[in-house]
Amino acid sequence: MDPRGFPTTLPEFQRVFPDDAACARYLEHLRWPNGFTCPKCVKLGEPYRFAKRASVVLRCRACHANVSLTATTVMKSSRTPLSVWFWGAYLVTTQTPGQSALQFQRQLGLSRYETAFQLLHKLRAGLVRPERDAIGDQHPVEVDETLVGGRTEGEGRGNHHKTTVVGAIEVRTRPPAAEGKKQKRIIYAGRLRLRLVPDRGAKELTKFVQQNVAKGAVVRTDGWKAYDDLQMLGYTHEPLVLDGDPERTEAHLPMIHIAFSNLKTWLLGTHHGVSAHHLQAYLNEFVFRFNRRFYPMTAFNSALGLAAHASAPTYKNLYSGNSPAKPPATPERIEAVLRLRDRGNGRTSRREALEGDRNVTTT
Ligand SMILES: [Zn+2]
pLDDT tens-digit series, residues 298-334: 788 888 988 755 554 444 444 443 333 344 444 444 4
* Arithmetic mean of pLDDT, 151-160: 53
Q: What whole-number distance in Å separates Cα of residue 182 and Cα of residue 271?
A: 38
Cα 285 to ligand 1 centre (Å): 39
Distance 312 CA to ligand 1 centre (A): 26
pLDDT band, very low/low/confident/very high, at 356 (cuts 50, 70, 90): very low
- Nearest-angstrom CA–CA distance, 295 and 8: 11
Q: How do residues 115-132 score in pLDDT, each as one tens digit?
A: 998 898 888 887 777 777
Cα 321 to middle of ligand 1, angstroms: 22
Distance CA 327, CA 330 (A): 8
Contacts of residue 54, Cβ cutoff 8 Å, sequence gap at least 6: 19, 20, 21, 23, 24, 81, 82
- Alpha carbon of 63 to ligand 1 centroid (Å): 4
Q: How far is the CA of 95 from the centre of ligand 1 (A)?
A: 40
Least confident of 69-83, 108-122, 324-338: 324-338
141-148/218-221 β-pairing: parallel
How far apart are the CA of 304 and the centre of ligand 1, in A? Answer: 26
How remote is the CA of residue 54 from the centroid of ligand 1, in Å? 21
pTM here is: 0.67
| 82-94 helix and 20-31 helix, angle to the nearest 10 degrees | 70
Please state the φ and ψ torsions of residue 148, each to the nearest 5 degrees: -115, 135
CA 66 to ligand 1 centroid distance, Å: 8
User: What distance in angstroms lies between residue 149's CA and the mean position of ligand 1's atoms?
Assistant: 55
Q: What is the pLDDT of residue 237?
A: 96
> Is residue 73 within 8 Å of 82, Cβ to Cβ?
no
